[in-house]
Structure 1
Amino acid sequence: MQIGRVNINKPVALAPMEDVTDISFRLTCKRLGADLLYTEFTSSEALIRDAKKALRKIVIADEERPVAIQIFGGVDAAMEGAAAIAEKMNPDFIDINCGCWVKDVAMRGAGAGLLRDLPRFEAIVRSTVRGTRLPVTVKTRLGWDAKSIIILDVAKMIEDAGARALTLHCRTRDQGHDGIADWSWLEKIKNIVTIPVIGNGDVRTPEDAKKMFETGCDGIMIGRAAINNPWIFREVRHYLETGEHLPAPTPQERIDVCIDHLRLSVQYKGDKYGILEFRKYYSGYLKGLPNIAKLRAELMTYLELSPILERLERYRTEVAEAMEQTCFL
C-alpha cells in the first residue's frame, strides 16, 4: 500500500482516538508492532487560532514514522489553513476525519456530519488538498444512517477530489460503535477506486484481521481493541505471517510496558499532566493480576513519577515471587 512516500505491505494501523492516541500511546503501539500511526483528531479552527492544546496534539516524533496528522472541520478556509500548519510538523501525510459520530462534531457539519452534505464534503477535501504538498487521506463511515449508505459515491468523490487513500469505519454515523461493522463494503469500494482502502471496525483478534484482509482491502486499522492490549499489533502480524498465535504477554512484560508508557507520558507532558492523564491506563495493563484494586488505588494517590515507578517495580517483584511460589505448589 502506497501513500506518498509511505509504502507498506498490508499495514496494521493504529486508529486515531481522541484522548487515547497521544504521542506516548502511539510510541508504545509502534514499539509493539503498529505499522502506521495517526494523531488524535485536531480541530482546524483551533489550529488556525494557534491554540496551544491543538498544537500540542500534532507534535510527532521521528520514531513514530510513518505517522499522519488527523484534522477535522467544516469550513473550507480553516481546513486549508490547518493543512498548511500540520505540514510544518512534517508528518508523512494528512488525514481528514469525516467519520466522527459524536454529536458536538457531527451536528456542526464536521466529522460524520459531512455525510449529509456531499458538496460540502467534496469542498472540504479539495481545500485540504490545496493547503498542503503532502498526500491527503480521508477517514469516514458508510453513511449517516442505514437509509443513506452513500459510501460508494463518497469513495469516488474523494478520489476525484485528490484524496490519496480512504479509511472506512464500516458502520453508519447512526450506529456509533453499536451493532456489527459491515465489511462487505470494503470489497465493493475496492472495485470502483484505484486509491488504497483501509478497513476499520470490529478487528479485535488476529483472526478478525485475517478475515478483513480477505475482503481485498489494502490495510486494516485497529482502534478500541488496542487500548487495553497494545500487543495486538505484533499478535496480528505474527498470525498473518505464520498462522500461529503468540503467547500472551507475561505479567512482568505487562508491568514493564506500563512503566515504559508512563515514562513516555511524563517525558512529553511533564509530571503533572503526564501522570494524571496516564491513570486511565492502569486498569488495562494490570487487569487480572493479584491485588490490582488495592494497587491502583495506591497509584492514584501519587503526583510524582519516582514513587509510582518504585511501587510498580516492587509490584513486579511481588508478582514474580507469587508466580514462583505457585509453580512449586
Structure 2
Amino acid sequence: MNDVQINSSAKFIIIGQGLAGSILAYFLLQEGQEVQIIDTPEFPSSSKVAAGLYNPVTGRKLVKTWLADKLFPFLEYFYAQLEKELNAKFFHPQAIYRPFVNEDSQKYFKSDHVPDDFSDFGTLTFDNVKYQNIVNSQLGGVTTKHSGWVDLKVMLSAFRSYFLEKGILKEENFSLKNEYENQKVIFCEGFEGRNNPHFNYLPFNPVKGEILDIEIENIELKEIINQGAFVVPLGENKFRLGATYSWHDLDFTPTEQGKNDLIEKYQKLMKPSMRILAHNAGVRPATKDRRPLIGLHPEIKNIGIFNGLGSKGVSLAPYFAKQFVDFLVYQKELQSEVNINRFASLYLGVDKV
C-alpha cells in the first residue's frame, strides 16, 4: 500500500467511507471536529449493494428488536434531516407486510400472547384481501410501522460528494506505518476488519448475502413484503429481492446457487412472474454476539474501531455513531453491549501487534 499524506490538523482519521465510516465522520463534523477520511474506491463495499432495510420487529413472534424504542425514533429523524443536508433522496419509510406463514402463526397472533405495546409498531389482519392476487397466503398477516429502507448507494454517493467538497476525503490506500500520536485513527472497514492486525482478535462472523433486482409487471405494491424473503418496491415495476445467508466463500461474486435460492424463495412467497434485471453480492460485517464492535484498542489508545453492524447497519449506525462521537469527544460512556472491552480476555489470549 502507498502511504497517504494526512492532514496534520485533522484530529480524527476515518478509514473507510461505507455506511459506518460516513455516518461517524458526519457526526464528528457536526461537533466541529477536524476529520480526514481515507477510502479505497475500487475495493467493493457491502454497503453499496445492501438492501438497506430497517425493521423494528424480529423473530417469528415479531417482538421488538434490541433497543427499538431508542434506535428507530433516532434513525427516522436522522435520515430525514440528512436528506436535506445532502440534497438527495434516499430515505424511504415504508410499511412491511408479513404474511402469516401457517395457521399456527395466525393462531398465536389471535391469542392473548401479543405484547401489550404491539400496536406501537404493528397492526394485524386475519385475511389477505389487499394482496390476494400477489401473495401466496390467504391467512392475513402483520403490517409493521416505523420500517422502510435506505438507498445506501445513493446516500453514500451523496456523502462522497459532500466530503469531497469539504476537501476531507482521500481516495487512496492507507498504511499505518507512521505514528499518529496526536490523532485518532478509527477503522470502519466492514468485514475486512477481521484482517486488521490490531483488531483481528475480535469475534467477527461475516455473512455473505445475495440480492436480485427484478421486474414485476402490472402490480400495485406500496409496502415491502417479507416472509422468508423480502420484496422491496423501487418504483416503475422494479423491485429488490433478498436475501441469502452464507458463511462460506466470503466474496462479492454472485453465485448460481444464490440466484436459484432467491428464485425459490420468491416463488414460495409471491404469485406474479418476475424477470431478473441484476444480481449482486456483498458480505455483512456481522459478529458472533450480534452486537456492534465499537471502541478504542486495549493498548494503543489512538486507534479505534466502528464495525460489526451486520444486517442492521441502517438502524444501528446513526445511534451508535453519535454515541461513539460523544465518547471520543466528550469522554461519555459507551454502552457495555457494544464496547470492545467486552472482549478484553480474547485480546489477552493473542499475540500483540
Q: Same fold (TM over 0.5)?
A: no
Instruction: Give the TM-score, by structure 1 length.
Output: 0.29
Q: TM-score, normalised by structure 2?
A: 0.27
Structure having greater relative contact order (Cα 8 Å, sep ≥ 6): 2
Greater per-residue strand proportion: 2
